[in-house]
């Protein structure tokens, strides 16, 4: 009996020992489990950071992020939040008896949680997605149909003929909202860029229902490459002079006119003065075009016919209709209701595509009985979340073409992208994802100026500010007399006021107490901000000021204790008082006339983004203005201040900040900056460039030929990590560690004035520029070769521009690795007098992606290619096919001995043989 009892006791003890041991282990090993969790969290941050860098690069290039990558990032975000909660709980609760003794119960719970969280984080790290973070296939539909239907093709042809016709000076396109006028303009513009005739320049601006003369002038100035100036009169004069230049052929596109626009006030010459300048205008109102703007001819753009409308609906929705004939019949009725307007057709079809069959049929009935505003509202209701809906409403409030960065600033203060203390880079990623969601319902279109903008159609913008959305949100938009019902301004949270000359001050008194976002704009630059009263706006989080004169800021701004974002696009003088707005985290001066950034700005220690881009008058950044911004994540000083001081200049009276102040910005991940004196980089310690995710750095103020713009490639390569170096005897800068680290990540490199550093361009970067896409080298006599045989340099290079390289002997020295130049698309070589040929035959056979070849002024050039021994291969029988080459320019090459067409197959090519080409 005793043996039985002992045996049972032993069994029970065996069952109890392991759990008790684990419990004691969690208590005793609590500190080691917590330490392990901290290490795992740090490792997870590192893994997330490297992947976030790849995501940012992909998004900058318009790529769609893979779902598995987004899922991993979301899981990491959740795991990080949970882990930090455990660590914070541990600090707060791990003791008992007033802190004298460890609390075993809490230590057990937290020790167990810490270990489990650490194991989960390790699994996440091990499961980090590898390879490309983006899909190569394009994303969803991004707007109205980009296809020209048969019923519209003849109009496109007529428009192109009218643009070619000397007699047609002002051409009009008329049609209802949503019919595709803007889409047609996009196609016209693309065709003109591809043909590069008959115009040297095509510039474009959206006019809209409430024309902003300043913005229209700036759009046209930007398209013509004119310097932006603060005065409307000066801009008008500059535009008029440029457009009257007889050597220029310019097409000015003005989209969406609602009433007569005084072209003379804009600066667009008329009559005999216009000569080579043509206008292409669109409007919903034919009388505006013909009677007010005197268009001749005017083309009527009607809706799609029934067959085309149904085909567009069917293509957008996929194969749903093929599976149910009854559904197909219902769909036909809905399409008829949409009046052949591609905008509404794609929007409704995209929304229905995401619905199940029962919801689909129910919604079809609702659409059939609805007007346009209800259709827009119905698509809005299907957006995936409250935050996405709020973002769409903000787009509708602003209207037209909208800067994505503005949406980022406004969305962050509203908490649309998660916690406000998330990194700006992470918030930008979430914003892009949300914009993609709205795009997929065809409620937004891609902006007319690249990936930096989005566009909302007037049809949608008008509905957002109408009564159809009044039950969801109170947005106010006033453009006329500045009067509105009191019940509205007492509950509105976002407001845009765009009124007549110098009336804002009187309209703001006592208005909008609950407003969180306030956007104020005068219709001229004469209204002065210092008379405005912000006393009752204590809840204000974002303030946007445009087209005003700000001599000083009103004292009432100091009451804005919740203000987190301030954007100023105005004539501005003294900004020192802004240093008192301690809660500011975003400060944007883009395009303003600020001349000095005072040291008081350095008191804004919570600031995370400072934008001084395009501030052409900014000549002084006082010492200390940047050093105190210890939480700054993004600093933009592009096309702006460049007069950084050297250490030996600090005692001068006109003292500016030094680059050393950037060392205190330890959280900096995005930087755009110009540095006039390259020698400054040789002073003191290295700068913190190595941690940057995005950058645009111009050293020596290199004003190189804008080749990407000249060849219409700005859109393709927009947003690349850019380094421009004008060395002029300072080649040793390339040995600085901060420069070498930056070159490793650079995607667009411009080099000028390199005289003694390297003979081979690829040796400038360890690994041979693994991420470089565009290379521009000019006036650098030390360069003899671009690539040598030592490694696989330039594996991702797409654009190569070489100019005035007087000692360049070969592009490739001997045989190179198979990946070298394998993605090259465009090659431009100019005035390289020692160059006898471009490539050897073996490399030419690998250049299957080449699209354009341009060679001029290379007086020693004998052939495009030679055999691998360096001889002309005129006797070679096998032809080399370059299937994608569409343009071959050979200019001023007096020693050419063979014609490329004899040895290469250019199936898409147009030969351009100009003066100076001699074929022997």
Identify the residue with better confidence: 659 or 133.
659
Q: How far apart are CA 823 and CA 841, in angstroms?
A: 17
Q: Which tokens sit at 160?
A: 């192109």
Contact between 665 and 687 under an 8 Å Cβ cutoff? The reply is no
Each residue of 247-296: pLDDT tens digit?
Answer: 788 899 999 898 899 998 888 988 777 777 899 999 988 888 988 898 99
Identify the residue with better confidence: 365 or 582.
582
Res. 907 pLDDT band, cuts 50 70 90: low
Q: How far apart are CA 582 and CA 587, in angstroms?
A: 12
Residue with tokens 């003929």: 161
* Percent above pLDDT 90 for the chain: 18
Q: Which tokens sit at 550?
A: 């700000």
Q: How far apart are CA 230 and CA 388, in angstroms?
A: 36
- pLDDT (0 to 100) of residue 90: 55
Res. 636 pLDDT band, cuts 50 70 90: very high
* Long-range CB contacts (within 8 A, 24+) of 286-293: 286/172, 286/174, 288/257, 288/258, 288/259, 288/260, 289/172, 289/174, 289/257, 290/172, 292/259, 292/260, 293/170, 293/172, 293/257, 293/260, 293/261
Mean of the per-residue pLDDT values for the chain?
Answer: 78
User: Which residue from 90, 166, 82 is spatially nearest to 117, judged by alpha carbons?
Assistant: 82
Q: How far apart are CA 388 and CA 436, in angstroms?
A: 10
* Percent above pLDDT 70 for the chain: 73
Each residue of 664-681: pLDDT tens digit?
Answer: 999 999 999 999 888 888
Identify the residue with better confidence: 697 or 348.
697
Domain borders along the chain are 21-131, 150-300, 306-369, 386-473
Q: Which tokens sit at 887?
A: 């343009």
- pLDDT (0 to 100) of residue 19: 46
Identify the residue with better confidence: 472 or 693.
693
Q: How far apart are CA 320 and CA 557, in angstroms?
A: 56
Q: Is the pLDDT of residue 450 over 70?
A: no
Domain range 386-473, its CATH number among 3.30.70, 1.20.1300, 1.25.40, 1.10.10: 1.10.10
What CATH code would you report for 150-300? 3.40.50.300
Average pLDDT score over residue span 314-329: 73
Lowest mean pLDDT among 302-311, 353-362, 743-752: 353-362
Each residue of 740-770: pLDDT tens digit?
Answer: 888 889 999 999 888 876 667 777 777 778 8
Res. 694 pLDDT band, cuts 50 70 90: very high
Res. 150 pLDDT band, cuts 50 70 90: confident
Q: Is the pLDDT of residue 217 over 80?
A: yes
Average pLDDT score over residue span 343-371: 70
Quote the pTM value.
0.73
């Amino acid at each position: 009996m005793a043996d039985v009892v002992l045996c049972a006791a032993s069994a029970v003890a065996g069952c109890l020992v392991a759990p008790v041991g684990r419990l004691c282990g969690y208590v005793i090993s609590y500190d080691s489990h917590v330490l392990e969790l901290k290490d795992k969290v740090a490792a997870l941050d590192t893994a997330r950071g490297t992947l976030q860098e790849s995501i940012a690069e992909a998004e900058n290039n318009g790529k769609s992020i893979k779902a598995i990558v987004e899922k991993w990032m979301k899981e990491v975000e959740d795991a990080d939040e949970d882990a930090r909660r455990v660590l914070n709980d541990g600090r707060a609760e791990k003791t008992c008896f007033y802190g004298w003794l460890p609390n075993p119960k809490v230590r057990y719970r937290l020790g167990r949680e810490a270990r489990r969280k650490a194991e989960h984080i390790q699994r996440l790290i091990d499961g980090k997605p590898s390879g490309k973070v983006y899909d190569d296939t394009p994303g969803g539909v991004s707007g109205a149909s980009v296809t020209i239907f048969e019923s519209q093709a003849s109009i496109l042809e007529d428009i192109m003929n009218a643009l070619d016709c000397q007699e047609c000076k002002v051409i009009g396109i008329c049609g209802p909202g949503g019919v595709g006028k803007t889409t047609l303009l996009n196609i016209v513009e693309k065709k003109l860029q591809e043909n590069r005739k008959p115009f040297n320049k095509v510039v474009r601006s959206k006019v809209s229902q409430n024309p902003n003369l300043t913005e229209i002038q700036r759009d046209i100035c930007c398209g013509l490459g004119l310097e932006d100036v603060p005065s409307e009169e000066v801009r008008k004069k500059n535009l008029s002079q440029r457009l009257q230049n007889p050597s220029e052929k310019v097409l000015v596109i003005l989209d969406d006119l609602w009433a007569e626009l005084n072209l003379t006030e804009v600066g667009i010459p008329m009559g005999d003065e216009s000569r080579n300048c043509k206008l292409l205008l669109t409007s919903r109102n034919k009388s505006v075009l013909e009677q007010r703007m005197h268009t001749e001819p005017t083309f009527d753009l009607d809706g799609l016919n029934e067959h085309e409308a149904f085909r567009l609906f069917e293509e957008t929705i996929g194969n749903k209709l093929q599976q149910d004939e009854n559904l197909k019949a219902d769909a036909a009725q809905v399409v008829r209701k949409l009046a052949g307007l591609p905008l509404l057709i794609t929007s409704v079809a995209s929304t229905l595509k995401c619905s199940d069959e029962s919801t689909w049929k129910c919604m079809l009935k609702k659409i059939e009985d609805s007007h346009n505003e209800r259709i827009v509202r119905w698509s809005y209701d299907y957006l995936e979340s409250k935050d996405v809906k709020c973002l769409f409403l903000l787009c509708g409030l602003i209207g037209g073409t909208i800067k994505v960065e503005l949406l980022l600033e406004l969305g962050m203060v509203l908490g649309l992208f998660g916690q406000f203390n998330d990194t700006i880079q992470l918030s930008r990623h979430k914003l892009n994802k949300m914009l993609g969601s709205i795009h997929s319902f065809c409620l937004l279109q891609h902006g007319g100026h690249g990936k930096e903008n989005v566009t909302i159609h007037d049809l949608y913008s008008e509905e957002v500010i109408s009564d159809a959305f009044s039950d969801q949100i109170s947005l106010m938009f006033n453009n006329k007399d500045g009067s509105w019902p009191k019940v509205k301004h007492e509950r509105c949270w976002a407001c845009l006021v765009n009124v007549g000359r110098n009336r804002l001050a009187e309209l703001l008194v006592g208005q909008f107490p609950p407003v969180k976002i306030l956007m104020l704009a005068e219709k001229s630059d004469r209204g002065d901000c210092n008379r405005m009263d912000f006393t009752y706006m204590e809840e204000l989080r974002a303030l946007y000021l445009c087209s005003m004169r700000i001599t000083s800021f009103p004292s009432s701004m100091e009451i804005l204790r919740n203000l987190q974002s301030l954007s100023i696009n105005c004539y501005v003088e003294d900004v020192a008082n802004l240093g008192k707005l301690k809660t500011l985290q975003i400060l944007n001066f883009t395009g303003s006339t600020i001349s000095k950034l005072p040291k008081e700005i350095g008191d804004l220690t919570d600031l995370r983004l400072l934008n001084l881009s395009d501030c052409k008058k900014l000549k002084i950044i006082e010492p200390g203005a940047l050093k105190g911004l210890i939480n700054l994540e993004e600093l933009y000083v592009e096309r702006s201040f460049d007069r950084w001081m050297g250490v030996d200049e600090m005692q001068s009276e006109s003292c500016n900040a030094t680059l050393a102040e950037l060392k205190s910005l330890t959280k900096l991940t995005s930087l755009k900056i110009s540095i006039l004196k390259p020698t400054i980089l040789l002073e003191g310690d290295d700068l913190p460039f190595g941690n940057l995710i995005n950058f645009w750095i111009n050293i020596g103020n290199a004003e190189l030929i804008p080749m990407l713009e000249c060849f219409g490639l700005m859109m393709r390569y927009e947003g690349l990590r850019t380094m421009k170096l004008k060395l002029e005897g300072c080649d040793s800068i390339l040995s600085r560690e901060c420069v070498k680290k930056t070159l490793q990540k650079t995607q667009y490199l411009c080099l000028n004035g390199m005289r003694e550093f390297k003979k081979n361009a690829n040796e400038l970067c360890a690994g041979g520029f693994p991420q470089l896409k565009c290379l521009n080298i000019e006036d650098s006599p030390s360069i003899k070769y671009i690539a040598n045989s030592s490694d696989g340099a330039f594996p991702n290079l797409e654009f190569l521009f070489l100019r005035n390289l007087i000692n360049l002997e070969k592009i490739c020295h001997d045989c190179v690795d198979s990946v070298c130049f394998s993605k090259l698309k465009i090659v431009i070589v100019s005035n390289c007098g020692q160059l006898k040929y471009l490539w050897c035959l073996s490399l030419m056979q690998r250049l299957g992606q080449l699209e354009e070849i341009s060679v001029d002024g290379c007086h020693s050039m004998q052939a495009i290619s030679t055999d691998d021994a360096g001889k002309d291969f005129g006797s070679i029988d096998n032809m080399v096919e370059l299937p994608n080459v569409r343009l071959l320019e050979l200019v001023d090459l007096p020693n050419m001995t063979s014609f490329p067409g004899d040895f290469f197959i250019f199936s898409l090519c147009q030969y351009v043989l100009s003066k100076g080409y001699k074929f022997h």
